[in-house]
Amino acid sequence: MTNTDIYSIFDEFLKTTVIEKKNMFSAKDSDFLEIFTTDHLKELVAQYVNNPIDGQKAKEIFDSNNISFEDRIRKQFENGNVSKDAKAVFGHLMWLQYLPAIKPGRDEVWGKSKCEKIERCTELQVSYSSNGVAGYGMAAMRLDDELTDLVLLFHNLVQENWGDLEKIKKYIVKWCLDIDDIRSLEYEKNANGKRKCPVELLPIHNMLLHLCKKEHYYSIAVSGHKRKIVDTFECLIPPKTNEENCDLSLADDVLDNDCEYNKKIFIIVDKLKKGDVVMGNNALNEIVDFYDDEYKNLWDAGSDKDYSDINAIKFKKAIILYGPPGTSKTFSAEGLAKTLIFRLDYSGSPDKVEGFLADSNKIKKNQIHRLQLHPNYAYEDFVWGYQIENGQTLAKKGYFLKLIDKVSRENEETHVLILDEINRVDLSRLFGELFSSIENRGKEIDLPVEVEGIKQISVPNNLYIIGTMNEIDFSLERVDFALRRRFAWFFYGYNEDKLSGILNDKLKKNPISTFDDNAQNDYIQCCSLLNKSIDKDPELGPQYQIGHTFFAELVDIWKDMPRKGIKNVKPILWNISIGPMIEAYLGNCDKDTKENKIAEYKTIFGIDNK
């Protein structure tokens, strides 16, 4: 299948499977018999939805923590548990789940790997259109949740005789939005408590909504991303948006809780497309790609918590990102600073947005200040200290007082100071008498001596502070309460989504054909399982997680030995990075305990101890 119009492909899929109930891919006449039947979907409900192989059951069956999705599916469908036609139906649903997704720069390879995966799992030979409509990120890995939902959706669809494609789409919209509880009731009726009905929209729901009603739902798979985008670019939305100037309501008054976000995204996109805002000197394409780095770095900075770090720093003006090494704290601090400056200084009008996007690097250079702290960096360097000039001992301003001078002069601009690795200094001593001014902005504090003609100083309101801290080097429990009170604290740990993003970025520059999507999923699962075990270890805990940037080094090692398989490369990463790190973390354990734990973690990471 090579049709580049994904919407036509989706329509063809619904027509063939739901209306005609046939196999969409086989060229054999015998295989064009009806396969999307109630009986075949019941088989999948019984064997896949109600008989999941996960958790302890998977460990008992496979005697391992590292079980791939393919292994589980093949096990569930073996020994005639599911008929050939029912497996073919499942293959169709896997294909549909992958249809909207995009792997930037690697669509063709990625699509081929998906076809091969479907064939290995279900024996169904499929073709793939490489032109998806949305990036999923790690959300694409929620295979079981999304396929469960598709099985139950099509279990409902095949029980009716549909003659109208638009009616099918309308039903799918109602299913995704759980109108009249149709989805909740189906889970309650047929999932038998084995699978829970998702509270929030799954990525596949957002994509089905887009494929059914593209004029109402933008091509963004993750609901949280929609909300972030609207929050970031809301200045482009007219103050009095209403149904008269924004007719984006669904047919027959089918509305959802996220409808306002979808409406606003379309307004934002319309503004961008019309040239109210342009990026640099280039006019924007017809479809605005919010995953382009220039956009994504603005709306995707900060954590995904309900009260995010971007909210906290706007309120508290001082924040610390803490956690284990290798968890993108410094990178996140810079992104957070840039987003804060954009929202406070440039998001008030389309002209300001244009100015920011046109020259964000200059803005970053002028308004973001980064200081790398170390044990020899002291109060005298930071606030003020005595220096000898021309034979005289003079009180001279340090880095922070000089920065305060600059920020005070530019009081209409937001400035951000990033203090990298605050765990390497005594922060209370570093700030000295200005420590309380972090909290009490604008309040003048007496200096112990006159410093370059200044006797009093205050921290201006337009100066924000972001600190980063490796919790391994300085436990949060050791932080005094005065320091805690003056900063908002956000834990930055291992993150699957960020690991996936870093791997994809590295693979764009250095493609590795054998490290396809299946291999990546399995690798990320191993990394996650290792960190979950570390979290539960009484000798370690979350502060000793292995950061995602360390795991991503696999690609850097692999690119120099492309003919090797992942089984050859992972042990190298373990031996030069992961293993020594864990060994150091277990330094207080006796020799036997340490060796046993390292062997256990090595197995969890998917490496043979032989």
| 453 shares a domain with 363 | yes
Together in a domain, 95 and 48: yes
CB 85 within 8 A of CB 34: no
Q: Domain for residue 249, yes or no? A: yes
The verdict on 108 and 217 lying in the same domain is yes
Among the listed residues 243, 284, 234, the one whose alpha carbon sits nearest the alpha carbon of residue 261? 234
pLDDT per residue over 122-146, tens digit each? 888 887 665 677 666 544 457 788 9
* Dihedral of alpha carbons 559, 564, 565, 570, sign: negative
Say which range, 112-116, 254-258, 447-451, 602-606, has the weakest mean pLDDT: 254-258
Q: Are residues 473 and 580 in the same domain?
A: no
Cα separation, 520 vs 52, whole angstroms:
23
- Percent residues over pLDDT 70 in the chain: 83
- Is 550's pLDDT higher than 90? yes
- State how beta strands 392-397 and 384-389 pair: antiparallel
User: Does residue 429 lie within any of the structural domains?
Assistant: yes
- Residue 91 near residue 124 (C-beta atoms within 8 A): yes
- Of residues 113 and 17, more confidence is placed in 17
The tokens describing 451, both together, are 């410093």
Are residues 460 and 564 located together in one domain of the fold? Answer: no
> 307, 263, 311, 270: which is closest to 287 by C-alpha?
270
Residue identified by tokens 């949305």 is 134
Dihedrals phi, psi of 345, to nearest 5 degrees: -110, -25
Last residue of a domain, one of 466, 491, 516: 491
* pLDDT recorded at residue 56: 63
Q: Are residues 72 and 40 in the same domain?
A: yes
Using CA atoms, how far apart are residues 580 and 470, in angstroms rounded to an integer?
Answer: 18
Confidence tier at 280 by pLDDT (50, 70, 90): very low
Give strand ranges (E) for 303-363.
318-323
Mean pLDDT (whole number) for 374-388: 92
d(CA 358, CA 354): 6
Helix (H) or strand (E) holding 155: helix 143-157
Of 271, 338, 274, 259, nearest in space to 302 by CA: 338
Query: Do residues 130 and 184 both lie within one domain?
Result: yes
Which has the closest alpha carbon to 415: 452, 457, 466, 456? 466
Q: Are residues 152 and 200 in the same domain?
A: yes
Structure tokens at 331: 């990178």
pLDDT at 284: 37
Average pLDDT, the chain: 82
Rounded Cα–Cα distance for residues 37 and 39 (Å): 5
Query: Does 449 share its domain with 386?
Result: yes
CA–CA separation, 265 vs 262, rounded Å? 5
Residue range 159-205, pLDDT digits in tens: 998 888 999 999 999 999 888 888 988 888 887 767 788 878 898 99
Residue with tokens 């309501």: 249
- Domain range enclosing 512: 496-604
Domain boundary among 491, 507, 539: 491
DSSP reduced 3-state for 2: coil
Q: CA-CA distance, 110 to 96, in Å (whole number)?
A: 15
Query: What is d(CA 336, CA 418) in angstroms, rounded to the nearest whole number?
Result: 10
Q: What letter does residue 192 receive in the DSSP assignment?
A: T
Q: Rounded to the nearest 5°, which phi and psi values hold at 321?
A: -100, 115
Residue pair 401/451 in contact by the 8 Å Cβ criterion:
yes
**In whole angstroms, what is the distance from residue 35 CA to residue 493 CA?**
46
Q: Are 267 and 238 in contact (CB under 8 A)?
A: yes
Q: What is the DSSP-derived secondary structure letter of residue 383?
A: T
pLDDT at 246: 37
Tell me whether residue 1 is in a domain: no
pLDDT higher than 90, residue 372: yes
Rounded distance between C-alpha atoms, residue 548 and residue 511, angstroms: 19
- Residues 467 and 502 placed together within one structural domain of the fold: no
Residue 446 has φ and ψ, to the nearest 5°, of -75, 135
Is residue 313 assigned to a domain? no
480 and 338 assigned to the same domain: yes
State the pLDDT at residue 200.
82
User: Which pair of structure tokens corresponds to residue 568?
Assistant: 């050859």
In 3D space, the residue among 85, 107, 9 whose CA is nearest the CA of residue 40 turns out to be 85
Number of domains observed in the structure of the chain: 4
Cα–Cα distance between 354 and 271 in angstroms, integer? 11
Same-domain check for residues 266 and 363 = no
Sheet strand arrangement including 415-420 = 368-372, 415-420, 463-470, 318-323, 488-491
Tell whether the model's pLDDT for residue 467 goes beyond 80: yes
In 3-state terms the chain splits into helix, strand, coil percentages (rounded to 5) of: 55, 10, 35
State yes or no: pLDDT of 521 exceeds 90: no
Let me know if residue 279 belongs to a domain. yes
306 within domain boundaries:
no
- Asked, for residue 426, whether it belongs to a domain, the answer is yes
Percent over 90 (pLDDT), the chain: 34
How far is Cα 429 from Cα 426, in angstroms, rounded to an integer? Answer: 5
- At which of 204, 221, 238 does a domain end? 221
pLDDT of 305 reads 60
50-78: per-residue pLDDT in tens?
888 776 666 677 666 566 778 888 888 87
Residue 447 per-residue DSSP state? E
pLDDT of 253 over the 70 cut: no
User: Which of the four pLDDT bands, split at 50, 70 and 90, describes residue 25?
Assistant: confident
Predicted confidence at residue 157, as pLDDT, reads 95
Q: What is the CATH number of the domain that holds 454?
A: 3.40.50
Cα distance between residue 543 and residue 452, in whole Å = 43
Whether 476 is in a domain gets the answer yes
Strand 415-420, strand 445-451: pairing? unpaired
DSSP 142: -
Q: What are the DSSP E strand ranges found in 325-420?
A: 368-372, 384-389, 392-397, 415-420
- The values of phi and psi at residue 566, to 5°, are -65, -30
Give the SS3 label for residue 417: strand
Mean pLDDT of 333-346: 89
User: Which pLDDT band, with edges at 50, 70 and 90, does 290 fall under?
Assistant: confident
* Range ranked top by mean pLDDT from 85-94, 275-284, 356-365: 85-94
> Which range is least confidently modeled, 4-8, 68-72, 279-283, 469-473?
279-283
Identify the pLDDT of residue 276.
53
Nearest residue to 89 via CA among 45, 41, 26, 153: 41
